[in-house]
A and B are shown apart, each in its own frame.
Chain A
Amino acid sequence: MEKRVVITGLGVVSPIGTGVAEFWKAALAGTSGISAVPPFDTLPMEAYRSRVVGRVRDFEPAAHLDATQAERLDRYAQFGLVAAREAIDDAALKMDREVPHRVGVIVGAGMGAMTMAERELTRLYLELKPNRVAPGFIPAITMNALGGLIAIAHGAKGPNYTISTACSSSAHAIGQAMSSIRAGQTDAMIVVGADASITPLVLAGFGTLRALSQRYNDEPERASRPFDRGRDGFVLGEGAGALILESLPHAKKRRAKIYAEVAGYAATSEAYNMVIPQEDGVEMATTMAMALRDARTAPAQVDYVNAHATSTVRGDEVEIRGIRRLLKARANKVLISATKSSIGHTLSAAGCIGAIATTMAIQSDLIHPTINYEDPDPECRLPGIAAKPQERRIKVALVNAFGFGSNNSSLVLKRYD
Chain B
Amino acid sequence: MTANIDVAERLRSTVAKELKQDVSSITLEHTLRGDLKLNSLDAIELMFRIEEEFDLSIPDDDMQGFVKVGDVIDYLQRRLSGEPGAPAPKAAATPPAAAPPPPVFKTAAAAQRVTPAPKAAAKKAKPKAARRRA
Partner of B48, one of A75, A118, A132, A199: A132
Q: Which residues does chain A contribute within 8 Å of B119, judged by CB atoms? A: none
- The B-contacting residues of A in range 119-150, CB under 8 angstroms, are 119, 122-123, 126-127, 132, 134-136, 139
Q: Hey, which chain A residues are within 8 Å of B44, CB to CB?
A: 135
Residues of A within 8 A of B130 (CB): 41, 119, 122-123, 126
The distance in angstroms between the C-alpha atoms of A40 and B132, with both chains bound, is: 9
Scoring A residues 188 to 227 as 1 if CB is less than 8 Å from chain B, else 0, what string do you get? Answer: 0000000000111000000000000000000000000000
User: From B47, which residue of chain A is reached at the shortest CB distance?
Assistant: A135
Tell me if B134 and A198 are in contact (CB < 8 A): yes
Write the nearest CB–CB distance from A52 to chain B, whole angstroms. 15
B126 touches A41 (CB 8 A): no
Q: Does B35 touch A at the CB level, under 8 Å?
A: no
Contact A135 B41 (CB under 8 A): yes
Q: Is the CB of B132 within 8 A of A67?
A: no
How far does the Cβ of A112 sit from chain B's closest Cβ, in whole Å? 15
Residue of B nearest to A39 (CB): B134
> How far is it, in angstroms, between the C-alpha of A126 and the C-alpha of B130 when the chains are bound?
9
A200 contacts B134, C-beta separation under 8 Å: yes
Q: Which residues of chain B from 87 to 134 have any CB-CB distance to chain A below 8 Å in the complex?
A: 124, 126-127, 129-134
Contact size range, A: 20 to 34
**Residues of chain B with a CB closer than 8 A to A118's CB:** 134
Q: Are B20 and A126 touching (Cβ within 8 A)?
A: no
Within 8 Å of chain B (Cβ to Cβ): is A115?
yes
Of A115, A127, A134, A199, the residue contacting B127 (CB under 8 A) is A127
Q: Roughly how many angstroms separate A412 CA and B45 CA in the complex, as a whole number?
A: 46
Q: A122 to B126, alpha carbons, bound, how many Å? A: 12
Given A119, A123, A139, which contacts B133 in the complex, CB threshold below 8 Å?
A: A119
Q: Which residue of B lies closest to A198 (CB)?
A: B134
Shortest B126–chain A CB gap in Å is 7
Q: Is the CB of A127 within 8 A of B126?
A: yes
Whether B42 is near chain A, meaning CB under 8 Å from some CB there, is yes
Q: Which residues of A contact B132 (CB under 8 A)?
A: 41
Partner of B20, one of A67, A132, A199: A67
- CA distance in complex: A72, B38 (Å): 14
Across-interface contacts of A199 in B (CB, < 8 A): 134
**A134 touching B129, Cβ below 8 Å:** no
Contacts of B126 in A (CB 8 A): 127
Interface residues of B in 45-63 (CB under 8 A from A): 45, 48
Q: How far is A403 from B5 in the complex, measured between Cα atoms in Å?
A: 60
Decide if A126 touches B42 in the complex (CB within 8 Å): no
Distance between Cα atoms of A401 and B130 in the complex (Å): 34
Q: In the bound complex, do residue A115 and residue B124 qualify as a contact, i.e. CB atoms below 8 Å apart?
A: no
In the bound assembly, the distance between CA atoms of A77 and B132 in angstroms comes to 17
For window 6-64 of B, CB contacts with A under 8 Å fall at 19-20, 40-42, 44-45, 48
A119 to B131, CA, bound (A): 6
B residues in contact with A67, CB < 8 Å: 19-20
Those of A26-73 within 8 Å (CB) of chain B: 40-42, 67-68, 71-72
Q: How far is the CA of A136 from the CA of B46 in the complex (A)?
A: 12
Chain B residues, Cβ within 8 Å of A72: 41, 45
B41–A122 CB distance below 8 A: no
Please state if A115 and B134 are interface contacts (CB–CB under 8 Å): yes
Cα A40 to Cα B20 with chains together (Å): 27
Binding site for A on B (CB under 8 A): 19-20, 40-42, 44-45, 48, 124, 126-127, 129-134
* 4 interchain residue pairs of minimum CB distance: A41-B129, A135-B44, A67-B20, A122-B130
A-B contacts, 15 listed (Cβ < 8 Å): A40-B134, A41-B129, A67-B19, A68-B42, A75-B133, A119-B131, A119-B134, A122-B130, A123-B127, A126-B127, A127-B124, A127-B126, A135-B40, A135-B45, A139-B41
- A-side residues, CB < 8 A to B, are 40-42, 67-68, 71-72, 75, 115, 118-119, 122-123, 126-127, 132, 134-136, 139, 198-200
Q: Give me 19 other A-B pairs in contact (C-beta within 8 A), A115-B134, A118-B134, A136-B45 excluded.
A: A41-B129, A41-B130, A42-B129, A68-B42, A72-B41, A75-B133, A115-B133, A119-B130, A119-B131, A119-B134, A123-B130, A127-B124, A127-B126, A132-B48, A135-B40, A135-B45, A136-B41, A199-B134, A200-B134
